[in-house]
Amino acid sequence: MNVPLVITAIVVGVAVVIGLLSRGRTEMDMEQWTVAGRQFGGVLLWVLAAGEIYTTFTFLGAAGYAYGKGGPVFYILGYGTLAYIISFFILPPLWRYATRNGLVTQADYFRHRFASPWLGLVAAVVGVVFLVPYLDLQLEGLGDIVTTVTGGAIPRDASMIAAFALVALFVFTSGLRSTAWTSVLKDGLLITMVLVLGIGIPLHYFGSYAGVIHAVNHVHPGFLTLPGGSGNLGIAWMISTLLLTSFGFYMYPHAFLATYSARSVKAIRRNATWLPLYQVLLLLLFYVGFAALLVVPGLKGAQTNFALLDLTRKVEPAWITGLVGGAGALAAMVPASVIVLAAATLIGRDIFQGMIRPDASAVSVMRVSRAFIIIVMGVALYIAISVPSVIVNLLLASYDGVTQFFPAIILSMVWRRTSAWASGAGILVGAALALYFVSSGHDPLFGLNAGIVALGANVLVTVVGSLLFPGHPRAGVLADYAPDPAGPGRAGQG
């Protein structure tokens, strides 16, 4: 009997049951399906945010990046913490505005705040474009995890097809609630496995964490400093990447769904306060990657992403390997569910209703959104199975792309002149430059993360354009989002 296979299957099966049962007796209208009726308190919001943030890319990528790059990996510790600080200040006013005006997507904000359906359409299209490769990443990661931990007992394509069916099923049925409740299992298992591996492996082989560092420095001098094993990721790259990724952290469309689902401002701020604890887990994964560099040497290129899995299979019993496989599968399925929900909702609400059928009923919009769950998942699955190499460059540009929403959102909160035309032009210019720089191999550019250069061009276009063509009066300032003076109404909580 393939023990890792059985345990991984049990974990995934339990997660799917939780996802299906999460609906309960709730009647699924558009607001319940997409943002869970805006009723998530601190605990559920915390696990939901962690569920969508700490994905298979984090689970495998943190250890793999430590294995392959060395010193540059430490940027991952910094940008998440900076992003949580930023979220403490910008997410509460966004939540208040969304709650007062019934917004459920990121593109809704652009459409309503700027009184511009076409800008909502631009935001929706750009959002979907950069969500699909991120979804594809989760499917590919899951396929690789399941195949590796089961010793090839389940082919990569078969595991991705199974994930496609299971994720589509419980998101179609329960919407964001399925993601939140499944995240409870995912986070608990993931934390446990990271603690087991991150504490056990370094101490077993090297006696202490200092021993790991000493051994790596002895075998690979300079590996743990910049530029480490990368050759070109120096201090300028580190600083620019920290800025870019912290600005873009909450700019993914599915991050807006999580924010909108909060019960109150207090829940959002508590979330920002406690989420940095997860960064400790990332540090443990770095040590696993450093240990793997010495225990299972020789991994090159994309193989470094399997450093954690290869090390686990070599040193841990089969049942631990199975639990790691289950945790890794959930680290793919949970974010995949909220990503596809966000993409499908953008298409149904902001493209179909926003531009094609403005008079469409809420029922029709929900039907279209549900149908596009299957379509979007199907496109990502096709790419993952048939032509994964086609999206490699787009995948690298995904973070750079969604960060281009940041200037328009921030400026619209602090500067009344911010205009729809300038914001739209800035987003398109920034996204196009990000795609070009990454796809043409110009990243880093002048020693900087190419995305920050694209972001600078975006800011320039948005500011100059807004000076030349002032914005709609609805584009206001941060003070406009203050709590209601009348007292503890729902929109003014916290």
Q: Is 24 exposed, middle or buried (0-12, 13-18, 19+ CB in 10 A)?
A: exposed
The pLDDT, as a whole number, for residue 491 is 42
The pLDDT, as a whole number, for residue 38 is 93
Question: Phi first, then psi: what are they for 294, rounded to 5°?
Answer: -100, -30
Question: Is the pLDDT confidence value at 390 over 80?
Answer: no
Residue 131's pLDDT band (cuts 50, 70, 90): very high
b (16+ CB within 10 A) / e for 300-318? eeeebbbbbbbbbbebbeb
Q: Among residues 95, 42, 38, which one has the least CA distance to residue 250?
A: 95
Question: Is the pLDDT confidence value at 28 over 90?
Answer: no
Instruction: Let me know: does 60 contact 328? Beta carbons within 8 Å.
Output: yes
Helix/strand/coil for 110: helix
pLDDT 10s digits, 349-378: 999 999 899 999 989 999 999 999 999 999
The pLDDT, as a whole number, for residue 352 is 95
The pLDDT, as a whole number, for residue 366 is 93
Residue 96 makes CB contacts below 8 A (sequence gap 6+) with: 265, 481, 483, 491, 492
Question: Is the pLDDT confidence value at 177 over 60?
Answer: yes
Residue 355 makes CB contacts below 8 A (sequence gap 6+) with: 117, 118, 121
pLDDT 10s digits, 239-259: 999 999 999 999 999 999 999
The pLDDT, as a whole number, for residue 389 is 61
The whole-angstrom separation of Cα 249 and Cα 47 is 16
pLDDT 10s digits, 49-79: 888 888 877 778 889 999 999 999 999 999 9
pLDDT 10s digits, 281-325: 899 999 999 999 999 999 988 788 889 999 999 989 999 999 999
The pLDDT, as a whole number, for residue 438 is 85
* Neighbour count for residue 474 (Cβ, 10 Å): 14
The pLDDT, as a whole number, for residue 69 is 93
The pLDDT, as a whole number, for residue 297 is 94
Q: Is 82 exposed, middle or buried (0-12, 13-18, 19+ CB in 10 A)?
A: middle
Q: What is the CATH number of domain 3-235+249-389?
A: 1.20.1730.10
Question: What letter represents residue 123's amino acid?
Answer: A
The pLDDT, as a whole number, for residue 94 is 93
Question: Is the pLDDT confidence value at 150 over 90?
Answer: no
